[in-house]
Structure 1
């Protein structure tokens, strides 16, 4: 039976119809309350979704390997070859005028890896990624016979690092140890491994025994580094000794301010 609803000014349905559609038969005031509550619920839900979406957008990117990322960046900024570079070009620049504390023919060099070193003028530079710390940097003489290598070591002491390195060096053909010992210094730990070998992987200049001085030390930044000099054994050990000693005296680790060595 349908009746006329005087408040809504329309015909209302039967009681059964009211049970199935109760919201249609609420009075005007109650309908307003329902609408207000519905609007509040929708507003809160919208705000929550907005906060979630914003937080998701700002989530950090996945972790990237630092060494690999840095290597890729350097390749992109180079001439596109991704290889080494010559002294005076990419890879670093002379850091100062020649000093009286430098042997004749040497110059200080500020490398792109952040460290300072001194080496003979005109040597070529190349580098490759390392599993730890800075890239492995090689400076090589124009004839390819002599080389200075610089890298960072992960062992807890220079002597321990050399003990690990000696295990591999003993596998070289004609390996002959000259010395392996800790080196007294200015309070920082240092150790040195000097040896000869008939042939060393990656060396140029033909046959003949090679002479190597591998000096590892704790630098001013508290990190441990290696300076390794390679050369021919036929001309004696003096040129490798001068190469290591000069590089060590001028070495300044990345992110560190160091004074210019005095003569």
Structure 2
């Protein structure tokens, strides 16, 4: 049954209708409050949606690691081979020209390098790549060795060699680290001294060794190792190694000469 409500100035339904449609029979003040709350809720929802939509639109792209510019530089302490800081190239590395008494050598294995004039050549077969080639001074006290690496990483290769080197009598590590290389590829170096070396005559003062392993311009990896007695200091082995690397060109490749002359 419906009746006329004087407060709301409208016809009202029965009590049963009010139970099932309560919002319709709210007084005017409460009805306005409901509408206000509804409007506020819709406005807040709209703002949240807008913020979400803008955030989705401007969401950054998935993280991509930066392009590799140089080998991650390990500064390995003795015995661990852990990465650390990259070292700057040696002052004499990649310099143009040749030191006095050096000459360019085009080897029968196909590579080019530079070494002191008059050194004799020896070689032996290798399990991988080119033969192992040794160049020796006339008195037999200094040696430059060249061979191709089987390993994919120059650092891993030289770190393995360093672990074996620590078994030498009187072994003293100078450094084991990544170094900059003329090719721009990965290169690592192990420098050390030892009281004696397997297969080498005793010098009375021990040996100084610089072992450089690197990725050349052909994408293959090679080693250049300079040996000499500690009695005459360490500069001669460093000069020997740096000059040999500056002029090294792998088999089948064409490389510019460090002095700018035609290869």
TM-score where L is the length of structure 2: 0.61
Per-residue CA deviation, residues 24-47 of structure 1 (Å, 9 max, x unaligned), is xxxxxxxxxxxxxxxxxxxxxxxx
Give yes or no for contact 1:102–1:246 (8 Å, CA) kept in 2. Answer: yes
Relative contact order higher in (CA < 8 Å, ≥ 6 apart): 2
SS of 1:200 mapped into structure 2: coil
Give yes or no for contact 1:218–1:225 (8 Å, CA) kept in 2. Answer: yes
Max Rg structure: 2
Per-residue CA deviation, residues 64-105 of structure 1 (Å, 9 max, x unaligned), is xxxxxxxxxxxxxxxxxxxxxxxxxxxxxxxxxxx9700000
- Mapping 1:181-192, distance limit 5 Å: 181-186=177-182, 187-192=184-189
Q: State the Cα RMSD in Å.
A: 1.5
Q: Give the equivalent residue in structure 2 for 1:161.
A: 157
Displacement, 1:185?
Answer: 3.2
Displacement, 1:118?
Answer: 0.2
Q: Give the equivalent residue in structure 2 for 1:195.
A: 192
CA distance in 2, matches of 1:233, 1:206: 9
Displacement, 1:196?
Answer: 0.4
SS of 1:163 mapped into structure 2: helix
Unmatched tracts of structure 1, length 5 or more: 1-98
Unmatched tracts of structure 2, length 5 or more: 1-94
1:225 corresponds, among 222, 225, 233, to 222
SS of 1:231 mapped into structure 2: strand
SS of 1:188 mapped into structure 2: coil
TM-score where L is the length of structure 1: 0.61
SS of 2:231 mapped into structure 1: coil
The 1:205–1:175 alpha-carbon spacing in structure 2 relative to 1, beyond 3 Å, is closer
Displacement, 1:204?
Answer: 3.1
CA distance in 2, matches of 1:117, 1:241: 15
Per-residue CA deviation, residues 158-180 of structure 1 (Å, 9 max, x unaligned), is 11101111111111111110000
Q: Give the equivalent residue in structure 1 for 2:242.
A: 245
The answer to whether 1:207 aligns with 2:229 is no
Aligned length: 165
